[in-house]
Structure 1
Amino acid sequence: MPTPEFIVALREKIGHDPLWLPGVTAVVLNADRQILLVRRKDNGRWTLVTGCLDPGEQPAIGALREVREETGVTAVAVRVLRIQSLAPSAYPNGDQVQFMDVAFLCHAVEGEAAVNDDESSEVGWFSAEDLPPLTQRELACIADAYADRAEAWFAS
């Protein structure tokens, strides 16, 4: 998916300066409690489904939209897993960003997992015991998804 128009418009004004953005992460589990992952085209890395919210979009709705857009799977949001500021990063073109991320536990309800956009090269379901390499943050989100607690994690 191309850069959202609202970000393109902001970049025309601020150039490559740091931009604070609202992000979402979806830990999607199927009926067998497998985890839905996507392999990014840009770096070949497997990741949880993530994305940037559109202006005014509610976080859970945005997370479910990203799941559907990237994988073709329809899911429901169950609970907030964690809320955190991610580390600042930069894109190859020099744009600097930092995301405030809300991670959700989601349950798949219909649809076959498949590459459904131009951002991913593969989509697949993985057992917790057979995950490809993931970041520490992604592994923490997955651990939170399997934990039997209602509280969301946040830094304090």
Structure 2
Amino acid sequence: MAIPEYVLALRAKIGHDPLPLPGVIAVVLDDRDRVLLVRRSDTCDWALTTGCLEPGEQPGDGAIREVQEETGVGVTVERLLSAEALELSVAPNGDQVYWLAIVLLCRAVTGDAHVGDDESIDVGWFERSAVPPLPPHQQRCLTLALP
């Protein structure tokens, strides 16, 4: 699901006004330290796996869920990399969000990477030297994971 039901309910009341939301960013590595990336369907840009936490959901559980849903890869969470308030972002539909990004280092344990939902058009493993350009905050996440 691209937009959680609780966010849709809030948006019905506040429209496109800024909304603070908790989210996770998963830096997923395999046993060769390659990075798992998804190519987003809304922008066609490559990105780390991200997602909105459900109410009451623990960040580690949210990261595991998002990676499985989007890529088919099962992961374990190794450690917290950072928690960062991001600048205001505006979605293609005009929704404004202040994300609190909880960044977790994850290790792939099962599954073959594939497009798992309509949020992505491609999924792939990348050597660190071959990672395509990422948004600045995601590049910082990768640097924290692989200094």
What is the TM-score of this pair, normalised by structure 2?
A: 0.96
Distance 2:2 2:118 in 1: 9
Match in the other structure for 2:101: 101
The match for 1:152 is: none
Alpha-carbon distance in 1 for matches of 2:142, 2:90: 25
Distance in 2 (CA, whole Å) between partners of 1:135 and 1:96 is 17
Q: Which amino acid aligns with 2:59?
A: P
Whose radius of gyration is greater, 1 or 2?
1
Percent identity of equivalent pairs: 53
Partner SS, residue 23 of structure 1: strand
Residue segments in structure 1 that go unaligned for 5+ positions in a row: 148-156
Q: Counterparts of 1:8 and 1:104 in 2: how far apart (Å)?
A: 26
Deviation, 1:54, is: 0.4
Retained in 1: the 8 A contact 2:27–2:36?
A: yes
Give unmatched runs, 5+ long, in structure 2.
Answer: none
- Deviation, 1:92, is 2.8
Q: Deviations over 1:22-80 (max 9, x none)?
A: 01000000001000000001111000000000011001110110000000000000000
Q: How many residues align?
A: 147
3-state SS of 2:130 partner:
coil
Once the two structures are superposed, the pairs formed by residues 22-101 of structure 1 within 5 Å of their partners are 22-101=22-101
